[in-house]
Amino acid sequence: MQLSKLTELEFRAMILRKLNSMCKDISTMNKDIETLKINQLEIKNHQEEIENDIAEIKNTLEGLNNRVEEAENQISELEDRVEKINQSENQKEKTIKKQEDSLRELCNNWKHNNICIIRVPKEENEQGLENIFEEIVTENFPNLVKEESIQVQEAQRALASLVQQLEHWPVVWRDLGSVLARGMYLGCTLSPALVGSRGWRPLNVSLSR
């Protein structure tokens, strides 16, 4: 449409229509702007909520990290305590084993032939060494036999070289002396290993107690 051909009335009418359309567009744009503002405000509020949630999550994670670190420290302390307990138990086991070995050694020493009776006649020897020792204890220490139950585990003949060696031990003879058996005095001493390595007391004193 050519504006030059329009009459003034038509021109004004067209201008009014354009202005009216522009007003509608402006009104629509204003509504859209208001909607955008509302949406922007909602987004901002959501953003603040999200930031608050993130801060809360961070605090929660820090708390969890602190708990994990504390738990790790406690586990480390418990492991150290367990290690100390194991070391203590191992030490106790070693001590117990050492004491058991000492006790076993002591028992084994007591089981050895630690009392030697020499100058026993051959015919008496053939009757049994255990019986001879029991008779010696009965004749020389009757009270000990009544109070204590003494049993001979083992008796055996000594080598001739050992007997000769014991015959030349004046200190042993002076300490132990002799004992009576069937009206005869027999020599009585300790094994050389026990006399040489331990402070054994005289046989008469030990048995009388």
Q: Nearest 5°: phi and psi at 175?
A: -75, -40
Beta strands in 44-152 (DSSP E): 115-118
- Report, in angstroms and rounded to the nearest whole number, the Rg of the chain calculated over CA atoms: 58
How far is it, in rounded angstroms, from Cα 97 to Cα 92? 8
Q: What is the pLDDT of residue 106?
A: 75
What are the structure tokens assigned to 10, written together? Answer: 């038509």
Q: What is the pLDDT of residue 183?
A: 55
Whether the per-residue pLDDT at 135 is higher than 70: the answer is yes
- When the pLDDT of each residue in the chain is averaged and rounded to a whole number, the result is 72
What kind and span of H or E run contains 179? strand 178-181
Spell out the domain ranges in the chain: 8-107, 113-208
Can you name the residues that pair with 189 across neighbouring β-strands? 116
Domain 113-208 top-level CATH class? alpha beta
What are the structure tokens assigned to 91, written together? Answer: 């030490």
